[in-house]
Amino acid sequence: MLEETLDEAMEKMDQAVSHAGGEFATVRTGRANPGLLHRIHVDYYGTSTPLQQLAGFSVPEARMLIVSPYDKSSITAIERAIREADLGLNPSNDGNLIRLAFPALTEERRKELIRVVRHLAEEARVAVRNIRRHTKDDLEALTGEISDDDIRRAEKELQEMTDAHIKRLDELLLRKEEELMEV
């Protein structure tokens, strides 16, 4: 019973950390990153379709991203969706490909993006702590069925698990901040 509860908590904390990593990937840096386009949906024949299902991505150089639509007739819809996503990118279309040139970030914009990333990291930390709190409540509900010593050991293991996940989040945050400050 204790192992199942702790395994479930571990799984949820892993999901929270990986979700934060995905959120970090969507924050634009001065470097081309296809992860930035993962949230974009294109109106494709009346259906909202994720961009990665309609096109392939390549990064020929550090500040250039090329979007290659599988269906050439969807190129204008893809270009419109990228423009409307308000990413600060101006797509250029040559009839076969869409080129996205990433302008260099200003110092002010870098600091603003770091604030955004720190906020995302704090939300993830809160999520991990909430998982810990709910799991601790579940463990305390087992009082009477399982010895107090086993519950205390499980709570200690839960705290170590929480600390490890928060440390992973801090490492992800540090890496993203370094990436943002890179000129």
54-72 b/e (C-beta count within 10 Å ≥ 16 → b): bbebeeeeeeebbbebeee
DSSP one-letter code for 65? E
The CATH class of the 2-25+106-181 domain is mainly alpha
Tens of each residue's pLDDT in the chain, 183 residues:
888 999 999 999 999 999 999 888 877 776 777 877 888 899 988 899 998 899 999 988 888 889 999 988 889 999 999 888 877 778 898 888 999 888 777 888 888 888 989 999 999 999 999 999 999 999 998 888 888 899 999 999 999 999 999 999 999 999 999 888 876
Which part of the chain is CATH 3.30.1360.40?
A: 34-101
Distance CA 102, CA 110 (A): 14
Neighbours of 145 (CB within 10 A): 10
Fold of 34-101: Gyrase A; domain 2 (3.30.1360)
Which part of the chain is CATH 1.10.132.20?
A: 2-25+106-181
pTM above 0.95, yes or no: no
DSSP one-letter code for 53? G
